[in-house]
Amino acid sequence: MAHALVTGSSRGIGRAIAQAFARRGDRVVVHYGRDRDAAEETVASLDGSGHAVVGGDIGDPTVAQRIVDEAITALGHLDVLVNNAAVAPTAANGHRVDATTYADWQQSWARMVSVNLVGASNVSMLVAQHLVARGEGGAIVNVGSRGAFRGELDHPAYAATKAGLQALGQSLALALAPHGIAVASVAPGMVSTDRQAAKLDGAQGDSIRGQSPFGRVGIPEEVAAAVAYLTSPEAIWASGTVLDLNGASYFR
């Protein structure tokens, strides 16, 4: 039984990852940014017992440290970290370079960098040092994006931060391998979460589904299954990988 912290697990992909971990017998710390009720719903959906909830904005370095400290206290120790929390692309935070103001450009970049990259790096550093001190190995998985490779027309900061997160994972994989700690990333394409429902149900829906020769988008459980594998002992030799999960919609 492993002890896992899954950031951004109050809903969507993070919730599915927490559920996958609980099904295999893990204890999970469910992290949320603002919506504690949704996080409690996630915990209520988990198999087993002994799970916990922590909240706060990982984009604030002081809060990030509190989140990790509370997670370790809640479970006694951690074995697994999943960096899933992120400022996701929305219509409200679009910042296409030829169609935005400098003020909106600054705002979008500052927020996405603080959470998606710096926040995740801070949580990773703190959990990595905890794992090294324990001396029992462990795993870190980053939830990246297809956009890191193909770009994001309306959300360049999102693509850049996800590329940075995946590169961070490979740097940490080099440093942490001597300690028996595996670090990997997944790079999903479009996934049918609540956050994407309006887009998928709207005029763009058929075009988005048509990006994959399967004629659909991914589901959270498919991402969760990959993360569950990458955090298993059998996946240690996959450390450093970035696993594409995009239904053959983009090759690199």
Structure token digits, residue 189: 């394409």
Q: Residue 78's Cα: distance from chain center in Å?
A: 17
Cβ(3)–Cβ(77) below 8 Å: yes
Query: What are the catalytic residues?
Result: 145, 158, 162
CA nearest neighbour of 217 among 186, 241, 248:
248
CA nearest neighbour of 39 among 16, 80, 9, 4:
9
Structure token digits, residue 183: 């670090």
SS3 3: strand
Pairing of strands 138-143, 181-188: parallel
* Whole-number Å distance between alpha carbons of 213 and 224: 22
Which residues, 6 or more positions from 190, have their beta carbon under 8 angstroms from its beta carbon?
196, 200, 208, 211, 217, 218, 246, 249
* Whole-number Å distance between alpha carbons of 97 and 18: 36
Cβ(9)–Cβ(30) below 8 Å: yes
